[in-house]
Amino acid sequence: MKILSYSGEEVVTTDRMCEAVVDYARALAAENAADVVEIPVLVHAAQGFARLLIGPSSQLIVIPADDSDVVLKDAAVVVDLRARISALGPSRAVVTAEDAWVGTGIDLDFL
């Protein structure tokens, strides 16, 4: 379990949930975009949910938390966040076929 500090508040969630939220915040920042996500969190020894607005100005801090006997069901949310990251597009330059063959005289339609 980890503590995710966000806007001066703290929530406890799973390690992989924190990793996915931070990765998504990084991807959103690269695109200068923002989004609202709802993640499973520990609330009074039971599963609850927190809604976070994350984007370019998000200041997230992740620190270890005491272990809990509560098992948070985060698999679907982690998959959703990973899909959102992928939907944002590549985070690095991608060379297209047109870029790679400019000026070579090779007809790409013929290949």
For residue 38, tell me if it sits in a domain: yes
For residue 110, tell me if it sits in a domain: no
For residue 53, tell me if it sits in a domain: yes
Question: pLDDT tens across 19-36, in order?
Answer: 999 999 999 999 999 999
Domain coverage including residue 10 = 2-100
C-beta of residue 33 within 8 angstroms of C-beta of residue 58: no
For residue 23, tell me if it sits in a domain: yes
The whole-number average pLDDT for the span 1-29 is 94
Nearest-angstrom CA–CA distance, 34 and 25:
8
Count each helix (H run) and each strand (E run) in the chain, helices first: 3, 5
Question: pLDDT tens across 62-111, in order?
Answer: 999 988 888 899 999 999 999 999 998 765 666 666 655 555 666 656 55
For residue 28, tell me if it sits in a domain: yes
The whole-number average pLDDT for the span 26-49 is 94
User: How many beta carbons lie within 10 A of that of residue 20, not counting itself?
Assistant: 23
pLDDT at residue 101, as a whole number: 55
For residue 108, tell me if it sits in a domain: no
For residue 105, tell me if it sits in a domain: no
Q: How many domains does one find in the chain?
A: 1
